[in-house]
Amino acid sequence: MRVLIVEDEKKIAAALRRGLEAEGFAVDVALDGTDGLWMATEHAYDVIVLDIMLPGMNGFKVCESLREARNWTPILMLTAKDGEYDQAEALDTGADDYLTKPFSFVVLLARIRALLRRSGRSEPVVYRAGDLTVDPVTHHCRRADVSIPLTAREFAVLEFLMRRAGEVVSKSEILDNVWDFAFEGDPNIVEVYVRHLRRKLDEPFGRQLIDTIRGAGYRLNPTGG
């Protein structure tokens, strides 16, 4: 599955590349608009992540040019929240979806998966661990056939842990993936959400789904605890 990222902020570009490669995507990066357009026309991608604010040629122009050239690769646009460029304009120029900065990696991944699914290029994803199932598409979580209501954040944390089931995941990794790239708050928030998840997923069932590895991070038990 090939992805093209067109983004000039190196930090974001690098983070996206890293994350997507870890998910098994083949990733190319272009750091400005003209280069992005060139790469998109020369290679066949399954999806393109396209920033709007770009040096040289902005994202709208890139998107427009591609569509005029009859290139229908799904495009996910990245827009800044603070006006200047309009969200809706993204869809007008032929983008398939957009995401406003700042955003978290799991949300981006979900959107990309959604685009791929719509274009019929990928199989559905459902995570399982023992009697626990998590479905990012329908946003449903159930354990032992009882449905568990989760808030957006709780769900995102759980989804990330499920993707890395069995592995030790550090708190900073969770923070980097589930919260905004720009998040500068108290890292203790991760502990708080683990607490929420344990309360909803462990206590009613008398089991331990999420282990604490002191000094290293957390580990989701792939057998469901």
Partner DNA sequence: GCCGCGGTTCAGCCCACGTTCAGGATGCGG
Partner DNA sequence: CCGCATCCTGAACGTGGGCTGAACCGCGGC
Residues 165-194 as x/- pattern, contact with DNA by CB under 7 A: ------x-------x---x-xx-xx-xxxx
CA dihedral of 60, 52, 21, 216, whole degrees rounded to 10 = -160
29 binds, among its own copies, DNA, none (CB under 5 to 8 A by kind): its own copies
100 binds, among its own copies, DNA, none (CB under 5 to 8 A by kind): none
Distances, alpha carbon 110 to alpha carbons 28, 72, 160, in Å = 19, 20, 11
**Binding to DNA by residue 198, rule CB under 7 A?**
yes
CA distance 27 to 3: 5
- CB nearer its own copies, residue 29 or residue 112: 29
- CB nearer its own copies, residue 21 or residue 191: 21
Contacting residues toward its own copies, per CB under 8 A: 10-11, 13-15, 17-18, 21-22, 24, 29, 31, 64, 67-68, 70, 72, 91-96, 118-120, 137-139, 151-152, 166-168, 213-216, 219
Instruction: Tell me how long the chain is.
Output: 225
The amino acid occupying position 99 is: L
Shortest distance (Å) from residue 12 CB to DNA: 18
- Helix ranges restricted to H, the chain: 10-22, 33-42, 59-68, 87-92, 105-118, 152-163, 171-178, 188-201
- Binding DNA (rule: CB under 7 A), the pick from 22, 55, 139, 212 is 212
